[in-house]
Amino acid sequence: MRSKSLALIALGTGLAVAMTACGANTSGGGSTTSDTNTNSGSGGAKVGVILPETASSARWEGFDKPLLKKALEAEGLQADIQNAQGDVQKFSTLADGMINAGVKVLIIATPNSEIGATVAKKAEAQGIPVIDYDRLNLGGSSKYYVSFDNEKVGELQGQGLVEGLAALAPGKKPAEVIEIEGAPTDNNATLFYNGQQKVLKPKYDSGDLKLVQSKPIDKWDNQVGGTTFEQILTGNGQKVDGVVAANDGLAGAIITVLKKYGLNGKVPVTGQDATPEGLQAILRGDQFMTVFKPINEQADATAKLAAALAKGDTAAADKMATGVTKDTTGNRDVKSVLLPAQLITKDKVKVVVDAGFVKATEVCVADLAAVCTELGIK
């Protein structure tokens, strides 16, 4: 995730210090044998990582995979990182292969809580500790969870929408809002929604805003999200003042529809993940905001936790996981590392580039060269 950004970096660095005391797809078939770009060299405990998919967000292969590989290797661990491509059977097969290969720790970001809970149970039956990465598996048994404060992420999205409406539809009451949310099987999507509603529900209740419709999108499918949004929009007489999109992928699909009706740039659209495409849309004025989650900090925290667990040092792991997340299905508290995120609007895009999260060349494409120069992005 620069005066304010320097403070954020300092906070992230502090967290990292405290925790010390405290692309291309590479998976294929059901094998857990990775290519040389995925595994580290010889030596060190084996750690298995299974990421959920690539269809809904560029983050998993573009950011999480290389950052996790780097962080795990820095801790002296061998990293086997695979992607289930949204297929729960493949996720299960990958997990079985890693368990049979004798990984010392299993890190999972799952397509849904059911498969996550099943995999965690299998691993722990073999004495392999499991870390829920980014997504908490409700009703599961993983002892640790590393993510961002996802309810706070939702609050930032709600805040961004309100700011966008003030800028693009000042004085409009009630401003009409459509919400396109994440997968109902993803606990993070629920947390994002809960955070959004902390900001938006009082405004719905007061009549400042009018909720046209709110729809979760199965599997975070961008195409389905765009189609769903268009159906709601046309059903409302092609009228909308603001759109909550749960991530940048859904935002992109929504913007495509808004362009079709000549509404892009006139309607604030939220997002999340600070992808190059999302940042480009913000610079063009088609998307109002995104949420920057410094995944390098998430990867580093996960690697340090995995290193402690690989040594059997649960006391050290517990010192790192100072937060608690409620598993509402399993009625249990899960030890957690929860990291901060940041709201990014047009004037803050430079923060993401300066942090090294994306390259200026990925954002400042030909039609955005002038605006990048204006904003000092280079």
272 and 360 co-located in one domain: yes
* Statement: residue 30 has pLDDT above 90: no
List the one residue out of 338, 314, 335, 327 whose CA is nearest residue 140: 327
List the one residue out of 250, 259, 196 whose CA is nearest residue 227: 250
Digit-coded pLDDT (tens) for 331-368? 999 999 999 999 999 999 999 999 999 999 999 999 99
In a domain, 163, yes or no: yes
Listed in sequence order, the residues at least 6 apart from 286 whose beta carbon sits closer than 8 Å to its beta carbon are: 255, 258, 259, 264, 265, 269
Q: What is the pTM of this model?
A: 0.84
Instruction: Give the separation between CA 106 and CA 305, rounded to whole angstroms.
Output: 11
221 and 350 co-located in one domain: yes
Q: What six digits make up the tokens of 35?
A: 């290519």
* Statement: residue 303 has pLDDT above 60: yes
357 and 218 co-located in one domain: yes
Instruction: Give the separation between CA 263 and CA 165, rounded to whole angstroms.
Output: 14
265 and 307 co-located in one domain: no
What's residue 1's pLDDT? 35
Digit-coded pLDDT (tens) for 187-246? 999 999 999 999 999 999 999 999 999 999 999 999 999 999 999 999 999 999 999 999
137 and 155 co-located in one domain: no
SS3 378: coil
In a domain, 223, yes or no: yes
Instruction: Give the separation between CA 178 and CA 165, rounded to whole angstroms.
Output: 13
Q: Tell me the average pLDDT across 126-135.
A: 97
What's residue 56's pLDDT? 85
367 and 335 co-located in one domain: no
62 and 93 co-located in one domain: yes
Instruction: Say if CB 292 and CB 318 are below 8 A apart.
Output: no
How many other CB atoms are there within 10 angstroms of residue 68's CB atom? Answer: 26
203 and 312 co-located in one domain: no
* Statement: residue 145 has pLDDT above 80: yes
217 and 276 co-located in one domain: yes
What's residue 51's pLDDT? 98
Does an H or E element contain 174, and which?
none
Instruction: Say if CB 179 and CB 211 are below 8 A apart.
Output: yes
186 and 156 co-located in one domain: yes
In a domain, 12, yes or no: no
178 and 111 co-located in one domain: no
What's residue 43's pLDDT? 67
What's residue 58's pLDDT? 83
The CA angle 263-264-268, to the nearest 5 degrees, is 100
Digit-coded pLDDT (tens) for 97-123? 999 999 999 999 999 999 999 999 999
Digit-coded pLDDT (tens) for 359-377? 999 999 999 999 999 999 9
Domain count within the chain = 2
* Statement: residue 37 has pLDDT above 50: no
Task: Indicate the range of 30-39, 56-65, 73-82, 156-165 predicted with least confidence.
Answer: 30-39
In a domain, 250, yes or no: yes
What's residue 17's pLDDT? 35
218 and 327 co-located in one domain: no
Structural domain range at position 256: 150-293+345-375
What's residue 49's pLDDT? 98
Query: Would you place residue 7 in the very low, low, confident or very high pLDDT band (cuts 50, 70, 90)?
Result: very low
Q: What is the mean pLDDT of the chain?
A: 90
How many other CB atoms are there within 10 angstroms of residue 347's CB atom? Answer: 9
Q: What is the CATH number of the domain that holds 52?
A: 3.40.50.2300
What's residue 293's pLDDT? 95
How many other CB atoms are there within 10 angstroms of residue 123's CB atom? Answer: 23
* Statement: residue 13 has pLDDT above 60: no
